[in-house]
Chain A
């Protein structure tokens, strides 16, 4: 009896856990859900691949370019190996000179992209302006040097080779990894003894522009908020039919091409443009002193506030829409003044929308390119315009990448700070 009781006690437990084929139920369940999860993952695979190929890899490659520049090593590999051992004092030894002369003479005949003497010259020229011709000119002549002493022969081609600074830069330019581009992006450089110093004041541009970008983005975000809050409130309180109509007015510019909108601002704001004409005809200003509203900082701010406004209105609107009007009425009925009820009851409830809107506008503004490029003129340019310039015109891709990386780090840091202050869970985009 006791045995039977024991089996009857244990059997239901086993029967509960084992499926008909003897596999424990838990394992079986895990298997089926895993299969379902795999299928679900397969559905997202196209997106994952797309993001990887079109976003993660290119950005990763860009980040790597900012400190990995193997040009020097590609052009004169033997010299790169030999100069790496040099202690950086005085001039390198005769052997290093010999390797350099022979390697340069060989490289002179190479016509492969990225492996020509011109590539090395460009790289060195970044650090010693004017040294491009030193290298290309010497490369044309070193083929004639057949006998030692190589050092004297090279100095005879150009006496700048006797400058230890040139060799320090060559040593740095022939290593694959370098901080030079980050230094340049921070208005700093190596001096003649390899110490990091600030660039000459006349050439400092990146930090001032970066600070200006941050400041202008903050200002634009603030202006967007001030303009968007009342509009969003109005939209959320009006009857549906009117608010839908107004919503279309908000969204209409959103659907219009960015270029068209920016160009429209040019027509509006230029010195012979609509706004100035109105001012003149109203005799607010004389015809001779029309106001410069575009091709400067003012133009950038005006056009960018307009273009980014919907990104602020929409999250605000979607949050305000969910706030029941009865809360405000309840507060009023309990004796709160209009202002007090707004500050204590309404405003706190809109915070998630404000948080989302400001984050969205600020991050969009900080990397904005096309509008400042078109209407920024001289003092309204942002850091992205300088990055574009290095990618498109000076072809210093590594410096462009370094600037881009710095911008990325700043955005991530701000995002982290924002998360600490507001909490990303509290964001509400709509």
Chain B
């Protein structure tokens, strides 16, 4: 039943997103945008899209008379963007992508370039290039949040001696049971090396070598038969809730929302977390390019970024937003300590290395698939 349930969740997420889009602006205050039109905004669905609808879409529609928003879900990658741009039929106006995808799509000329000077100043008056965290602004992409892949477990299933480190995730002797992992080489190789004792800062140095890669796959071998592979971000909380797995890697915001929003008894282990960025990109040659740019500027402003953090535990990419991050939107939970960027959570953490993955993703995908197919 797990499959149907997760389907229902996705559908529900989409439903709320669509319902939200139906409430078009009635307040005639067209300062956020220059032109009217219908934007197709593409993001990752579920709780994440919901946080964007609340923090970005709704206020934008209020401030931009005549604009409409169609929210669409996807599961990452730049295949659709490439097909649309090369086929000169661009229907996605603005897309939420991962960093390595943003870099690659930009390199291949699939995206509009973004003038950083035109991004709005922070609420504290700092110019955008100073206000955004280091490494969050790119030629074709502007980061909105910092997210992280962590692992989590069900506190009703594991009591007393709880897992604390990445090595514990791989320890089948002490905690026998299934493990959930994202299907693919990315993050799993890093996790495996950290579990095998490689220091966080040396992970990518090791992965550059053949010995390091072999070591990572060898470590993954030790739990391979117990792994349930997931592909969409909404799956891991469901796998945990259904008891299909004992521990699972997941996006931290999804676990947080299952806990805060649905009262699930899950706990996050931050040790060995791999943090990454999500960024807005605008596919080249879309019909609503200007409106998309208006939306991008609006949504990456100080307030919307801070507002999003009250719906999901992803860290805003602007420094000026951090001080505005308060509590969860309908509960008394301080959001600060829930962020991947909170000092306590960063003690043993890795930033996903986009240039390593841009270089090696194709090759490691083949190796990972060959490894997986061996049964």
Binding site for B on A (CB under 8 A): 110-119, 121-122, 125-126, 129-133, 136, 202-205, 208-209, 212, 263, 266-267, 270-273, 295-297, 377-379, 381, 386, 389, 391-396
The answer, yes or no, to whether B2 is at the interface (CB within 8 Å) is yes
- Supposing A205-B370, A270-B3 touch, asked if A111 and B244 sit within 8 A by C-beta, the answer is no
A377 touches B359 (CB 8 A): no
From residue A106, how far is it (CB to closest CB) to chain B in Å?
14
**Once bound together, how far apart are the Cα atoms of A79 and B110, in whole Å?**
24
Q: B79-118 toward A: CB 8 Å interface, digit per residue (1/0)?
A: 1001001100000000000000000101111100100000
A208 touches B360 (CB 8 A): no
A-B contact pairs, 25 of them (CB 8 A): A111-B113, A113-B85, A116-B109, A118-B104, A118-B108, A122-B107, A129-B359, A129-B360, A129-B362, A129-B363, A130-B359, A130-B360, A131-B359, A133-B358, A202-B217, A202-B370, A203-B366, A203-B370, A205-B366, A208-B373, A266-B4, A267-B1, A267-B4, A379-B375, A391-B79
The answer, yes or no, to whether B344 is at the interface (CB within 8 Å) is no
**Once bound together, how far apart are the Cα atoms of A119 and B82, in whole Å?**
12
B1 touches A272 (CB 8 A): yes
- Supposing A113-B108, A378-B375 touch, asked if A203 and B363 sit within 8 A by C-beta, the answer is yes
Residue numbers in A under 8 Å from B361 (CB-CB): 394
From residue B8, how far is it (CB to closest CB) to chain A in Å?
12
Residue numbers in A under 8 Å from B358 (CB-CB): 132-133
Please list the 4 inter-chain residue pairs (A to B) with the smallest Cβ-Cβ separation, ordered nearest first.
Answer: A118-B107, A129-B363, A116-B109, A118-B108
A266 touches B3 (CB 8 A): yes
From residue A211, how far is it (CB to closest CB) to chain B in Å?
11
B109 touches A263 (CB 8 A): no
**Once bound together, how far apart are the Cα atoms of A421 and B371, in whole Å?**
38
- Supposing A205-B370, A271-B244 touch, asked if A117 and B3 sit within 8 A by C-beta, the answer is no
The answer, yes or no, to whether B201 is at the interface (CB within 8 Å) is no
**Once bound together, how far apart are the Cα atoms of A117 and B108, in whole Å?**
7
From residue A243, how far is it (CB to closest CB) to chain B in Å?
35
Residue numbers in B under 8 Å from A393 (CB-CB): 77, 79
From residue A362, how far is it (CB to closest CB) to chain B in Å?
22
- Supposing A205-B366, A378-B229, A393-B79 touch, asked if A113 and B360 sit within 8 A by C-beta, the answer is no
Given contacts A113-B284, A267-B1, A389-B365, 9 further A-B contacts (CB under 8 A): A118-B107, A119-B107, A133-B359, A136-B107, A203-B366, A212-B373, A263-B4, A393-B79, A394-B365
**Once bound together, how far apart are the Cα atoms of A91 and B273, in whole Å?**
44
- Supposing A267-B1, A379-B373 touch, asked if A110 and B109 sit within 8 A by C-beta, the answer is yes
From residue A387, how far is it (CB to closest CB) to chain B in Å?
13
**Once bound together, how far apart are the Cα atoms of A212 and B372, in whole Å?**
14
**Once bound together, how far apart are the Cα atoms of A116 and B86, in whole Å?**
13
A113 touches B79 (CB 8 A): no
Question: How would you classify the secondary structure of chain B's contact residues: helix, strand, loop or mixed?
Answer: helix
Which of A202, A271, A273, A389 is in CB contact (< 8 Å) with B371? A202
Residue numbers in A under 8 Å from B371 (CB-CB): 202
The total of interchain contacts (Cβ-Cβ below 8 angstroms) comes to: 109
From residue B288, how far is it (CB to closest CB) to chain A in Å?
19
**Once bound together, how far apart are the Cα atoms of A247 and B109, in whole Å?**
55
B3 touches A209 (CB 8 A): no
Residue numbers in A under 8 Å from B366 (CB-CB): 203, 205
From residue B141, how far is it (CB to closest CB) to chain A in Å?
14
A272 touches B2 (CB 8 A): yes
From residue B145, how far is it (CB to closest CB) to chain A in Å?
23
**Once bound together, how far apart are the Cα atoms of A297 and B107, in whole Å?**
39
From residue B76, how far is it (CB to closest CB) to chain A in Å?
9
Residue numbers in B under 8 Å from A263 (CB-CB): 3-4
Q: B260-282 toward A: CB 8 Å interface, digit per residue (1/0)?
A: 00000000000000000000000
From residue A291, how far is it (CB to closest CB) to chain B in Å?
15
Residue of A nearest to B355 (CB): A133
Residue of A nearest to B184 (CB): A393
B369 touches A205 (CB 8 A): yes
- Supposing A202-B367, A377-B229, A379-B372 touch, asked if A112 and B77 sit within 8 A by C-beta, the answer is no
From residue A74, how far is it (CB to closest CB) to chain B in Å?
11
The answer, yes or no, to whether B78 is at the interface (CB within 8 Å) is yes
The answer, yes or no, to whether B242 is at the interface (CB within 8 Å) is yes
- Supposing A129-B362, A203-B363, A209-B373 touch, asked if A267 and B3 sit within 8 A by C-beta, the answer is yes
Residue of B nearest to A137 (CB): B355
From residue A151, how far is it (CB to closest CB) to chain B in Å?
24
Which of B3, B359, B370 is in CB contact (< 8 Å) with A132? B359
B78 touches A395 (CB 8 A): yes
Residue numbers in A under 8 Å from B244 (CB-CB): 271-272
From residue A212, how far is it (CB to closest CB) to chain B in Å?
8
Which of B79, B85, B108 is in CB contact (< 8 Å) with A122? B108
- Supposing A208-B373, A393-B79 touch, asked if A126 and B362 sit within 8 A by C-beta, the answer is yes
Q: B211-245 toward A: CB 8 Å interface, digit per residue (1/0)?
A: 00000010000000000110000000000001110
From residue A107, how far is it (CB to closest CB) to chain B in Å?
11
Residue numbers in B under 8 Å from A394 (CB-CB): 361-362, 365
**Once bound together, how far apart are the Cα atoms of A381 and B86, in whole Å?**
29
Residue numbers in B under 8 Å from A272 (CB-CB): 1-2, 242-244
- Supposing A272-B242, A378-B372 touch, asked if A115 and B3 sit within 8 A by C-beta, the answer is no
B109 touches A112 (CB 8 A): yes
B79 touches A392 (CB 8 A): yes
Residue numbers in B under 8 Å from A389 (CB-CB): 365, 369
Residue numbers in B under 8 Å from A267 (CB-CB): 1, 3-4
From residue A192, how far is it (CB to closest CB) to chain B in Å?
16
B229 touches A125 (CB 8 A): no
B109 touches A395 (CB 8 A): no
Residue numbers in A under 8 Å from B229 (CB-CB): 377-378
From residue B238, how far is it (CB to closest CB) to chain A in Å?
12
From residue A58, how far is it (CB to closest CB) to chain B in Å?
12
